[in-house]
Amino acid sequence: MPKTSSSVTAAPDTTWLGHGRHLGPEPEQDVRRNLIALKSIGLIDDFLDLAPDDSSPAEVAGMPGLPDPFESEDDKATPAPTARRLFEARWRVDEDVTVRAQLTTYDAPGRRRGGGAVSWVLAAEAEKSWDLEWLSPATVFWPDSELTPWDHDVVPGPRLRGTHRLVADDDKDLRRLLKNCTRGSWNIHVVVHEAMTPDARGLEPLAPYLPPSLRHRVVEHRAAPEQFDIVNWAMKDLDVRVPRGGAVVLPSSPPVPGYDAERFSVRSVFLDGSEPTELIQKITEFARLPRPLTADAEQAVEQLRRHWHLLTIEEELARTRELVTKYADALDAMTKSRDLYREAAELAQAALAERGESAPLPAQPSAPLVPRPEGSTLSTTLTNAFGRFREASRKGNRK
C-alpha cells in the first residue's frame, strides 16, 4: 500500500480541476463556439474571452504549463509553455448555486512529444461543496462530442470518455506509461482486465455510467486476457494488482489519504454491455476522497480566486464602493498628515521667533557648531512642538 502524507495539501471540496490536451487545429475556436451556444440557450449566465495581455499583469502569461511526464533532459531545456487564451464562464447549479470557472490554453513550441498539441487547464469553483451530479465544467467550455479532440490526457496516449488499449510491445514502456499516469495526471486512472475478449457491447467505455462531473476526469485502461501477468508486473512499483477479470483504481501521486488497493479493486467486471455497478461505486468513492493539490493545480485555484474578471452588476458595484472607500480613507489620512505637519511647522516658527526676540545670538561663522543643552528654551519648545505632532499622528493612525 502506498504511503500517505499528512502534509499534502488537499484541494478545496468546492473545486473541480481538470487538464488535458487538444490535438486539433483551432482549440480556442471550439471553446468560443461552445460558450456562445450555451449562453444562447441559457445554460450559462455569461462568459469572457480574453487574450493574456488583456488580463492583469503577470496573471495568465506567468502561469506555468503542464508537466510533460515523458520529458527528456533535452526537452527540459526548451522554453516553458506560454498562455494562448483565457476563458471565463459563470453558471448556476441547483438553481441558486453560482459556479465560476476559468480555462487557460497553452502552447509549448519545441516540445518533442507534444505533436503540436495545445495544453489546457480548467479550474471551477462553486459556492458550496461540489456535487458530482452537477454539469461537468469540461462540457461548458468544450463541445461534448467525440469529433473534437480536446479530451486527450496530459500523458500521451490515453483519452477521456473512451477506452485505452494497453499495448505490450515493450513491457518497460507499459510500466512507464502507468507510472506516469499516476504521477503526471490529475485524472483518475482505472485498469480493467478482460477475462475474455469482449464483443462490441463489452467494448463500450465506462464514461456514460459515471456521474456527469466524473465523465471527463476518468481514464479507462483495458488489458487483454493474455496481458494479466504483464500488466501486474507493470504496476508493481505502484503496489497494486488487478484481479483476473476485474479492475483496480490506480493511486495518485502524491497519494490520497485513505487510499488502499484492496478497497478500490473489483474482483470481477462483466463486460457484456450492462452497467458495472460495483466499479462505478469504487470510482465515485475514490473521487470523493480529499484530492492532493499539486503545485500547478494550486496555482490554477489561486488564479481563479484572485484574478476573476467576469463580475455581475452587483459585484461591480460592490467593488466600486470598496475602491471609493479606500480612496476616501487614503485622502482623509493625507489631509490629516498635511494639517499635522502645518501645525508642527507653525509651532516651530513661533518658537524660533520667540527665541530670536528675547536673546538674539551673535553670528560666529568660524566657530564649530555646538549642540544646544536639552534645557534651553529653544530646544524645549521645539521638542514639545514635535512631540505633540508625533502624538497626534499616532492617534490618527490608531483610528
Cα 69 off chain centre by: 19
Instruction: Indicate if the pLDDT at residue 69 is higher than 50.
Output: no
What integer pLDDT is reported at residue 282 of this predicted model?
97
Residues 269 and 337 in one domain: no
Do 114 and 187 share a structural domain? Answer: yes
Q: Which domain holds residue 137?
A: 15-310
Residue 254: pLDDT over 50: yes
Per-residue confidence (pLDDT) for residue 377, from 0 to 100: 52
Structural domain includes residue 365: no
- Please identify which residue in the block is written with the cell numbers 506567468: 62
The confidence score (pLDDT) of residue 62 equals: 40
Could you identify the residue written with the cell 480566486? 305
383: confidence class by pLDDT, cuts 50, 70, 90: low
Same domain flag for 292 and 351? no
pLDDT band at 184 (very low <50, low <70, confident <90, very high): confident
The residue with greater pLDDT, 377 or 195, is: 195
Number of domains in the chain: 2
Same domain, 115 and 236: yes
Residue 381 lies inside a defined structural domain of this protein = yes
Last residue of a domain, one of 310, 325, 346: 310
Strand, coil or helix: 121: strand
* Residue 220 within a domain: yes
pLDDT tens readout for residues 8-48: 688 999 999 999 999 999 999 999 999 999 999 999 999 99
181 and 146 in a common domain: yes
Single out the residue in 256, 289, 310 at which a domain terminates: 310
| Percentage of residues of the chain with pLDDT beyond 70 | 76
Residue 49 within a domain: yes
- Taking all residues of the chain, what is their mean pLDDT, rounded to a whole number? 82
Which of 104-118, 222-236, 237-251 has the weakest average pLDDT? 104-118
Biggest CA-to-CA distance, the chain: 114
Q: Final residue of a domain: which of 278, 310, 342?
A: 310
Write the Ramachandran bin of 156: left for phi over 0, alpha for psi from -120 to 50, otherwise beta. beta
- Residues 257-314 have pLDDT tens digits of 889 999 999 999 999 989 999 999 999 999 999 988 889 999 999 999 999 999 987 7
Q: What are φ and ψ of residue 82, in 5° steps?
A: -115, 150
- 364 lies in a domain? no
Give the whole-angstrom CA distance, residue 378 versus residue 133: 80
**363 in a structural domain:** no
- My answer on whether 112 and 190 are in the same domain is yes
Residue 150, Ramachandran bin (φ over 0: left; ψ between -120 and 50: alpha; else beta): alpha
Alpha carbon 2 to its chain centroid, in Å, reads: 26
Q: Are residues 325 and 254 in the same domain?
A: no
Exposed e or buried b per residue across 21-55, where buried means at least 16 C-beta atoms within 10 angstroms of its C-beta: bbbeeebbebbbebbeebeeeeebeebbebebeeb
End-to-end CA distance of the chain: 58
Q: What is the pLDDT of residues 298-347, one digit of tens each?
A: 999 999 999 999 998 777 777 677 777 777 777 767 777 877 878 888 88
Residues near 388 by Cβ (< 8 Å), separated by ≥ 6?
343, 344, 347
Residue 166 is predicted with a pLDDT of 93
Closest CA to 220 of 234, 204, 236: 204
* pLDDT grade for 67, boundaries at 50, 70 and 90: very low
Same domain, yes or no, for 246 and 340? no
Residues 144 and 98 in one domain: yes
Same domain? For 169 and 61 the reply is yes
Q: Residue 343 and residue 328: Cα distance in Å, rounded? A: 23
229: pLDDT strictly greater than 80: yes
Give yes or no: residues 78 and 222 share one domain.
yes
Residue 56 lies in a domain: yes
pLDDT band at 357 (very low <50, low <70, confident <90, very high): low
Residues 215, 239 contacting (CB under 8 angstroms): no
What does the pLDDT read at residue 59? Answer: 44
pLDDT higher for 238 or 380? 238
Within 10 A of 278 (CB to CB), how many other CB atoms are there? 15
List pLDDT tens digits, range 120-169. Answer: 999 999 999 999 999 999 999 999 988 899 999 999 999 999 999 998 76
Residue listed under C-alpha cell 493612525: 397
Higher pLDDT, 381 or 333: 333
Does 133 share its domain with 153?
Answer: yes
**Quick check: is 8 in a domain?**
no
Q: Which stretch of DSSP H or E encloses residue 89? A: strand 82-93
Grid cell 441547483 — which residue? 94
